[in-house]
Amino acid sequence: MTKKDQRKQEDDCKEQKTDEDTEGRKVVTNEKKGIAMRVITILSALMGGVAFLARSQGVESSVDHDDKDVTCGSAVKFTHSESGNKYFLNSANQNMGSGSGQQLVTMIANKGKQDSLWLLREGHGQPQCAPGDPLECGQRIRLTHLNTMKNLHTHHVRSPLSRQQEVSGFGEDGEGDTGDDWIIVCGSGAKTLKRSTKFRVQHVDTKRYLSATEQVKFTEQNCGGNCPILHHLEVAARSSPDRNTEFKVELGVHLSK
């Protein structure tokens, strides 16, 4: 091979690599655009304040109807059975002072806060689920915090109060890793997740269940007088299912076809 041919081959390889990099960036950009469009749809629905608020490509946004399916692309609030449905899964742009130092996730007794809205999405690396499709029992999902775009996450780090497994917000722009994946666990015989029924979510990587209890909350004694999460319940992941691991979709803006 002449030097001229060798240079041409090297130039062709560089062009091919550039094309591959460009395509890779396009895939990431398109995925982020898809998430952004879902968020825009949800926020538009929230500002409308009526039962049916938007129609886009055959997808409707509606406020709660208890007997209907929970669907992909919806933004919902999760309440907690053990506390009598008084507390809601919550996060904010604030990091833990211990453990992993990742974003705080707690249960808060204020259902009006927008910090309690979570976007329901397909699991990490899974095919994108269509907005409005019912979520099936056993399906792998991510719960993305709408305000901060961090995913509900757990890993082998101790939680600060109960010393169970820490639950946090993780990732950037809705993208993290498999530690963000949860399985929907429904009651006996159920095929899809309903808005009116109790359910659990089990972490894919560690097999732990999302949990909370009124017996474990942040107080002045364990968090200090200026604690920003005073009276919040600790959210953790525990090894076995019980009443502390039961949740329900209480409020939200639901997409349906």
pLDDT digits (tens, 9 = 90+) for 22-39: 454 544 455 555 665 555
Is residue 85 in a domain? Answer: yes
| Number of other residues whose CB lies within 10 A of the CB of residue 84 | 9
Which segments in the chain show pLDDT lower than 70?
A: 1-66
Q: Residue 199: which CATH number? A: 2.80.10.50
| Number of other residues whose CB lies within 10 A of the CB of residue 101 | 10
- Distance (Å, rounded) from C-alpha 232 to C-alpha 113? 13
Is residue 153 in a domain? Answer: yes
The conformational region for residue 190 under phi > 0 = left, psi -120 to 50 = alpha, else beta, is beta
pTM across the whole model: 0.79
Is residue 90 in a domain? Answer: yes
- Distance (Å, rounded) from C-alpha 71 to C-alpha 9? 51
pLDDT of 15: 53
Domain count, the chain: 1
Under a CB-based contact definition with an 8 Å cutoff, are residues 119 and 151 in contact?
no
Q: What is the largest CA-CA distance in the chain?
A: 79
- Can you tell me which residue has the tokens 């990431």? 28
Under a CB-based contact definition with an 8 Å cutoff, are residues 186 and 207 in contact?
no
pLDDT of 29: 52
Is residue 54 in a domain? Answer: no
Chain length of the chain:
257
Is residue 58 in a domain? Answer: no
Is residue 196 in a domain? Answer: yes
Structure confidence by residue, pLDDT tens digits, 75-127: 999 999 998 999 999 999 999 888 888 999 999 998 777 789 999 999 998 99
- Can you tell me which residue has the tokens 């719960």? 143
Is residue 34 in a domain? Answer: no
Domain that holds residue 77: 65-256
- For 4-36, b/e burial (b = at least 16 CB within 10 A) is eeeeeeeeeeeeeeeeeeeeeeeeeeeeeeebe
Is residue 15 in a domain? Answer: no
pLDDT of 225: 84
